Amino acid sequence: MNTNNSNLRSLAQKRKLAIGTGVSMEPLRDDPSYQQVLMREYNIVTPTYIMKFEALQPQRHHYNFEAADNFVAIAKANQMQVRGHNLVWHHSVPWWLTHEQWTPEELIHILRQHIHTVVGHYRGQLAAWDVVNEAVADQDSAGQRKRDTIWLRGIGPEYVELAFRWAHEADPTVPLFYNDYGGEGLGAKSDAIYAMVKELRQRDVPIHGIGFQMHVSIQNPPKPEDIAANMKRLGELGLQVQVTEMDVKIHDGSGTPEERVAAQTQVYRDILQVCLEAPNCTAFLTWEFADHHSWIPDFFGKPDSPLPFDESYHPKAAYHAMVEVLKIDS
């Protein structure tokens, strides 16, 4: 049974680690069981949608902060930090922006105004901002590792640097993160991310951390030693690392259901242990916490159970493994 002093939140606090989850507004508003587990287990939260460009500026010059303000207020009332997510992405871009032709100057003005307005609105209230999300392509295309987006096409590769500078202008105190998937271990994509952020640091761009989304699978998870090495080299650049969106697919793995659960449990155990051992790993978040709120089954069209709690909010083996890891030397 989970006691008040042996849940994730209390144990992580002793280890000086922020532990949290992505959160959707609907269950936060309507589901008492969701609310109870969230408040008990976590001390940092990320809104899964309501702070994205499309949600905050659905019409040009018309900002709607109501849902996001409510989210921040609920988190504050329950002593939870908030990660802002996100300012610049190729998804969740409003219709008015994608269905017009813009000059580079116009796009620069639109993006700068959006970042200044949003970051300024939450100045002094957030623990971090994911400034740029998923700007590095999965595959090298003609020597180009930047993802093809409206921002790359319309402004050029300098949009990444500009976004960080504008966010820092709007709130000089909030840590600013680059967030991406598939670059957690060692390999071509993590090398491309490392090269990009190293150059940004050399140019004195105000970037303070890297978000490892950690959407992984039991089929071929990144090796713990590779994640540790990647965290170390990023730390040598003066950067924090946060695990920002972790979940562990099991539908594409092999073995019996029990073997898949055991493999999933080991992945959660390994990644949390790596984070705890890295001096620059400051937060560990899953992307939602109960299986029925996961994006994975709908996206892949396969049943899955990738999170630490089941559909009845009962803690699973992965949850208990994370508790065990947090208890070591605590």
Residue 256 tokens, joined: 């019996």
Task: Let me know if 134 is a catalytic residue.
Answer: yes
Tell how far CA 63 is from the center of its chain: 23
Cis geometry, peptide bond prior to residue 2 (ω within 30 degrees of 0): no
Task: Let me know if 41 is a catalytic residue.
Answer: no
Which of 245, 258, 277, 324 is catalytic? The answer is 245
CB 140 within 8 A of CB 193: no
CB 104 within 8 A of CB 154: yes
Strands 136-141 and 144-146: antiparallel
Residue 141 tokens, joined: 């295309």
Which of 41, 134, 184, 288 is catalytic? The answer is 134
Q: Give me the tens of pLDDT residue by residue for the chain, a chain 330 residues long.
A: 344 578 999 999 999 999 999 999 999 999 999 999 999 999 999 999 999 999 999 999 999 999 999 999 999 999 999 999 999 999 999 999 999 999 999 999 999 999 999 999 999 999 999 999 999 999 765 456 899 999 999 999 999 999 999 999 999 999 999 999 999 999 999 999 999 999 999 999 999 999 999 999 999 999 999 999 999 999 999 999 999 999 999 999 999 999 999 999 999 999 999 999 999 999 999 999 999 999 999 999 999 999 999 999 999 999 999 999 999 975
